[in-house]
Copies of this chain bind each other. A is one copy, B any other.
Amino acid sequence: MSQSSPAPATAAVDVVDIALDARSYPILIGQGESLWQQAEVHFPKGTSAVIVTNTTVAPLYLQALRQRLERHYPKVLEVALPDGEQHKNWQTLNLIFDALLGNGADRKAVLYALGGGVIGDMTGFAAACYMRGVPFVQVPTTLLAQVDSSVGGKTAINHPLGKNMIGAFYQPRLVVCDIDTLRTLPTEQLSAGLAEVIKYGPIYDMEFFAWLEANVERLVAQDADALRHAIRRSCEIKAAVVSADETEAGLREILNFGHTFGHAIEAGMGYGAWLHGHAVAAGMVLATRLSQKLGHLPDADFLARLVPLLQKAGLPIEAPRLDPARNAERYLELMRVDKKTQGGAIRFVLIAPPGQAHTEKVADAVAAQLLDECIA
């Protein structure tokens, strides 16, 4: 299917079921009428629907979603937040609460998150907290949100001292991944999403990694079938990991491969300066090198495959210097607020072998040495 041809009404829709007992929900992946007809069956009942979106996405997709929701809910409200990671804070979250309370939205209101990961995280957290919990639906419009933030129930806002520090585990009732929405996505945002897709190879499935190596050009060119496969497989892997560990007690931490370094890059450069996916890409290179340094990867083969794949996906492979004089110290400082830290020791997700990941405490001196070696 070419990028410009509209999807036929009978186009394939993939379904990934997230099994979490009473909080189970389906992820639908597809495009056009066939996707949305299937989605409507799963819309939660309610007295009103509240679409939370941002000022970039609103002009593109708000009207279509509103029309669809008006057939199902007596009242449809909308809130358009300012766009960007730098707005993922309490002040912006409060705009959602103001709109809900100002419009008399009750406990039977259903929130719809229409946008990328920031909108999904904030809407999910607002739904978790509003009157101690109302249902919500994710309609992710970026590749990153479709493969990552729509699975696992992690919702949060940032605090000036750390990313995603204030949040909740809260599951959506439904996720609708409409591939058509990726057509308006800037190239660097598509790349950012591919970073999280690529991540699933080294931590879980090297067969998928090989498929990505063979198909990365199709993904970059937004081939719909390739995208649907990549999204489905990413969701399946994440679902398998999350189902085994809903509240991040252990296994789930492997999803943070590349993220310990990545979060430090994001915070150190100032939220919004580096895209999350770009920071994760550079972080995965560092985490792979750290795995090597600790003797987990006897030969350098995997790094020699990871780096060109990231490059073909349009992703950075080198981490930035965060401080002219004391760069490693600055990284360590920022990484110490990571949620995986226990008793002051930084814990990294490492791979051994590629396709299997684990979490490990690493001495500050070892991490500092690696940072000095890798960052010019």
Count of chain A residues with Cβ under 8 Å from any Cβ of B?
A: 40
A interface: dominant SS: mixed
Is A248 in the interface zone, CB < 8 Å from B?
A: yes
- Whether a CB of chain B sits under 8 angstroms from the CB of A129 is yes
Copies in the complex: 2
A86 is an interface residue with CB less than 8 A from chain B:
no
Residues of B within 8 A of A106 (CB): 339, 341-343
Cβ-defined contact, B337 with A101, below 8 A: yes
Binary interface profile of A, 150-162, with partner B (CB < 8 Å = 1, else 0)? 0000111001011
8 Å CB contacts to B: which residues of A338-360? 339-344
In the complex, whether A27 has a CB less than 8 A from a CB of chain B is no
Residue contact A162 to B339, C-beta cutoff 8 Å: no
- Cα of A336 to Cα of B130 in the assembled complex, Å: 16
Q: Is A55 an interface residue (CB 8 A)?
A: no
A165 within 8 A of B: yes
CB-CB < 8 A to A340: which residues of B?
107
Q: Are B107 and A342 in contact (CB under 8 A)?
A: yes
Contact partner of A132 (CB less than 8 A), chosen from B169, B337, B344, is: B169
Leading 10 A-B pairs by shortest Cβ distance: A101-B161, A132-B167, A131-B339, A47-B343, A129-B166, A106-B341, A107-B339, A132-B169, A132-B168, A97-B159
